[in-house]
Structure 1
Amino acid sequence: MVFMVERDAALGRDGLTVGAAAELVGVSVRTLHHWDEVALASPSVRTAAGYRQYTVEDLERLQRIVAYREAGLGLAAVREVLDDAETDAGTTLRRQRAQLAEQIDDLRRLDRRLERMTDAHERGILLSDEDQKNIFGEDWDPRGPQNARNLWGGTDQWAQFAERSAHRTPEQWRVLSDAMSVLQRDLGDAMSAGVAPGSADAEALVERHRELFSNFFTLTREMQVCLGQMFEADPGFAAHYDGIRHGLASWFRQIIDESARMHGIDPDTAVWR
């Protein structure tokens, strides 16, 4: 009713200009020009001065187009509803609703992925404290991921870690944890057996470590050298490895350094890159 009153008040003796029609139905002049170009809705009269104007019937068609466009129909579907006698508007709208429901489901799935990605960037590991201890062992400190974020949160490596963590299931975490435990046990056994840095057996262990660690973020050989130095120098890491086998932290650093030399990297000048 409001539209009809405003329409009748705005209409002159001949009709409405494109600007006035656009303002009345709530679209841009450019939109009306486009609808005219594609023959969806055109002004049907011309004044004595040669200006094209919209009649009452033209405005009613425009209003119907706007209504269906606001319901999400594309121009082709709108044309069918208005001009094809065999097209049922209800069927078209139901089909539109079904498509919208699919889009809503897609958006909800996207929102859940975004939520997990956001949480992973902020928390590192998307497991409860209890689940972390169940998977990584009773000695695991659930504050570790937050401490890591505080230290390395702005690095590419933290971003990679978070991106992969967002899609990792508890079972996948368990597989990685078990693989790391096996590697650390094998490192201790190799040291006790007298495996020498630079030997084929030592090189195989270094490669296993680099490949396994690259599940968290891409670990280059130079970065591995930096990790080996940290394992030996950091009291927490040193205590962990020496708890597996006394002296393991230093021996592990030595086999990493020797492997780096074999690949043309000077451990004394290695940097995190």
Structure 2
Amino acid sequence: MMVKEVAKIAGISVRTLHHYDDIGLLRPEKITAAGYRIYSDDDLSKLQQILFFRELAFPLKEIKQILSSLSYDQWEVMELHRNMLLAKRARMDQMIETLEKTMRSYKGEIEMNNEEKFVGFDFNNNGYEKEARERWGNQAVDEWNASKNTKSEDGQTELSESMNVIYRKLASLRHESPSSEASQAVIKEWFVFLNRIGNYSVESFKGLGQIYVEDERFTRNIDKFGEGLSIYMRDAMEVFVDSAVK
């Protein structure tokens, strides 16, 4: 398959495939005399493994080391991928439940105490993460463990105020380029802030930015600070992540 076909079927960009080739992570089996990349079925299988690792927020450098390791066992890795994804799904299900309760609380249908607001944010007891760290080392595993923020009423007020300050800063910059130095400085503030209340790898941070635009509920709330802010944040977050993973 040619690079455009691979990009389409895998749901990634041609630029991403070119980057994987450039860093030696995924070299196509053949390059024609005209310079066209031709990918084999084995290349596609390797790409699938890479994307599983990326879904779990492994850095590209570490993925390359794992796939090139003499001890690499594809079946063993697939089993670990499955277990880690199942653990991730369980956490996401719990967080969705927390979010839905929060929405009901916002509408006045139920009351939530401070403990309930953070159910699902504790990633410290992930056994499969421990297994992956033991197998590939700490640097090869996404850092899921977030420091717990205080859950006092004062703590919640401080968080809310800090969040609004950052939104207002971003709203004031939304007519600038998302890649500008000022924009990236405040987006970094947003990334650091979110990791105070949860745990976001750079890849999940990028996905969150996409949700800001794709989910009208997020769009509506964010754009209260300024029309088009959600789109601006998505673009700035993408620039931040792309710079971080180079």
* TM-score normalised by length of structure 1: 0.39
Higher relative contact order (CA 8 A, sep 6+): 2
* TM-score normalised by length of structure 2: 0.43
